[in-house]
A and B are shown apart, each in its own frame.
Chain A
Amino acid sequence: MTTPHRILIIGASLGGLSTAEALRREGYDGTVTLVGAEPHLPYDRPPLSKQVLAGTWDPDRAQLPAAAQLDGLDIELLMKQEAVGLRPAERVVQLRDGERLRYDTLVIATGLRPRWLPGSRQLDGVHVVRTLDDALALRQTLRQGPRLVVVGGGFIGMEVAATARSLGVEVTVVDPHAHPLAGRLGGVVGDAVLGLHRDHGVRFRLGQRVSGLAADGNRSVVGVLLADGSVIDADAVVLGLGSIPTTQWLKGSGVPVGDGVLCDQYCAAAPGIYAVGDIANWLDVHSGRRRRVEHRTNASEQAVAVARNILADHDKQTAYTPTPYLWSDQFDCRIQCYGWADEGQEVHVVEGDPAGRKFIALHRDHGRVMAVVGMNSARGMRSHLGALGSTADPVGPSRAQVVNPASTRGQTAD
């Protein structure tokens, strides 16, 4: 292909900014324009539920390093601008204020928007944590010492619960599963995290679905209604219900959209159109499956892959086949996962003890090691990464504690 003259990147968070930076690092000297909806320079999201929420960092510390180098990198950033339409035939993106931006190559990096309960957006005291402004608003609320209910025991929910509890806030977590972080990481980590939070005084209503929120006459939230008819009193509620890819602006454009933007193995969704980060749903040629990854590391790694594929000749493009990495900090615990952890995998503890909250486990699918998961074992994790993808048993049955994930499920704690 001929090198594009003008590359337009919609979305100015980590994925978009890293793509722009990688294009320059790869020697691209054409025009790079980043369009971001937010009023802030690009920032990192992992600190939002931790250091920024706790108030131990000024928001400036969360700013991405490359955000301070935009001039030097000759990257144009349009802030507080939102794309509302795309016309691939004309190679034009329409912005909300009416401006039309032309491109030769387009990168879609519009990420996710958090899921709300029906009617909950209009209520005072109900929060999500996706943007810097979300985190600062919640921080303000937590300073008033509310009774906080966290709906959803995923990563965001549990990190917010830990931060709020560390600030002395009374916290209750509601989740439909038997333990937090259900699904991907399975019951071994989930049970350890449950114990960790309980030891710090977080309360749980597990195996419970939320049927709605209760509000007073001033439209302030006063409680969380559960499907069993009970009510948890609340002065503030955080919704950790997952997120939805921001694809509505692509409607009618012909760009294939499903769970995110549907891309091939090179992260291309259509000729001259790529997707990167949380929104990209690409074909993983190693597994033959479609993948969409909502973790920070994927956004920066995929950005480099997309930048290289944009600049490569068509027959020299490289399929994107990452080894994902995620981490989560809660209280004094650090959880890490390399690889593709998923429900139903066999969990073999190979070092330490989950009860002591210091362990490393291999997750296997039909014998093949798919993920290395650890708690408070950061330095030891690296020596197990070589096992990823192998079917060998590096430890032998006598040392490995085999845990059937099914046996750790099904109990409801309160």
Chain B
Amino acid sequence: MRVITEEDKCCGSGLCVIAAPELFDQRDSDGVVVVLDETPGADRHDAVRKAVAACPAAAIRLARQ
């Protein structure tokens, strides 16, 4: 699984970081999402799904490789 984010959709809520702090961070300048691990292991897929659901701007998705 690969984590895909769209910067121009991101609203900088930080809710992905709260849902999965080991996978996401925010840029200092504008709070836009930074992916820390684009291909997380299976044990982290639930955390990514939580972040996908939490994102207020539908800016994160999971793709099969």
A to B contact number (C-beta, < 8 Å): 57
- Given the known interface contacts A325-B13, A329-B11, the answer about A379 and B56 at a Cβ–Cβ threshold of 8 Å is no
Question: 1/0 contact trace for A313-332 toward B, CB 8 Å?
Answer: 00000000000010101000
Q: Is B61 an interface residue (CB 8 A)?
A: yes
Is B13's CB under 8 angstroms from A336's CB? yes
Report the minimal beta-carbon distance from B35 to chain A, rounded to whole angstroms.
Answer: 15
Within the assembled complex, what's the spacing in Å between the Cα atoms of A412 and B13? 33
Q: List, in ascending order, chain B residues with CB within 8 A of A25's CB.
A: 49
Q: What is the chain B residue whose CB lies nearest that of A46?
A: B57
Most chain B beta-carbon neighbours within 10 Å: one of A300, A376, A379: A379
Within the assembled complex, what's the spacing in Å between the Cα atoms of A64 and B26? 23
Q: List, in ascending order, chain A residues with CB within 8 A of B12's CB.
A: 327, 334, 336, 378-379
Is A300's CB under 8 angstroms from B31's CB? no
Q: List, in ascending order, chain A residues with CB within 8 A of B26's CB.
A: 378-379, 382
Q: Is A44 an interface residue (CB 8 A)?
A: yes
B contact patch SS: loop
Q: Is B64 an interface residue (CB 8 A)?
A: no
Q: List, in ascending order, chain A residues with CB within 8 A of B32's CB.
A: 378
Is B28's CB under 8 angstroms from A65's CB? no
Report the minimal beta-carbon distance from A193 to chain B, rounded to whole angstroms.
Answer: 17
Q: Is B17 an interface residue (CB 8 A)?
A: yes
Interface size class of B (residues with CB under 8 A): 20 to 34
Within the assembled complex, what's the spacing in Å between the Cα atoms of A42 and B12? 23
A contact patch SS: helix
Is A65's CB under 8 angstroms from B13's CB? no
Is A327's CB under 8 angstroms from B56's CB? yes
- Given the known interface contacts A327-B13, A379-B27, the answer about A297 and B56 at a Cβ–Cβ threshold of 8 Å is yes
Interface residue from B11, B28, B30, B49 paired with A327 (Cβ < 8 Å): B11
Within the assembled complex, what's the spacing in Å between the Cα atoms of A385 and B53? 20
Q: Is A6 an interface residue (CB 8 A)?
A: no
Q: List, in ascending order, chain B residues with CB within 8 A of A336's CB.
A: 11-13
Q: What is the chain A residue whose CB lies nearest that of B25?
A: A379
Q: Is B36 an interface residue (CB 8 A)?
A: no
Question: 1/0 contact trace for B25-58 toward A, CB 8 Å?
Answer: 0111011100000000000000001000100111
Interface residue from A44, A325, A334 paired with B30 (Cβ < 8 Å): A334
Report the minimal beta-carbon distance from A17 to chain B, rounded to whole angstroms.
Answer: 11
Is B14's CB under 8 angstroms from A334's CB? no
Within the assembled complex, what's the spacing in Å between the Cα atoms of A47 and B11? 11
Tell me the B residues contacting A by CB distance below 8 Å. Answer: 8-9, 11-15, 17-18, 26-28, 30-32, 49, 53, 56-58, 61
* 6 A-B contact pairs sorted by A residue (CB < 8 Å): A46-B11, A64-B58, A304-B53, A329-B11, A377-B31, A379-B12
Name 13 extra pairs, CB < 8 A, besides A300-B53, A336-B12, A379-B28.
A25-B49, A46-B57, A51-B8, A64-B58, A65-B61, A304-B53, A325-B13, A325-B56, A327-B12, A334-B12, A334-B30, A336-B13, A379-B31
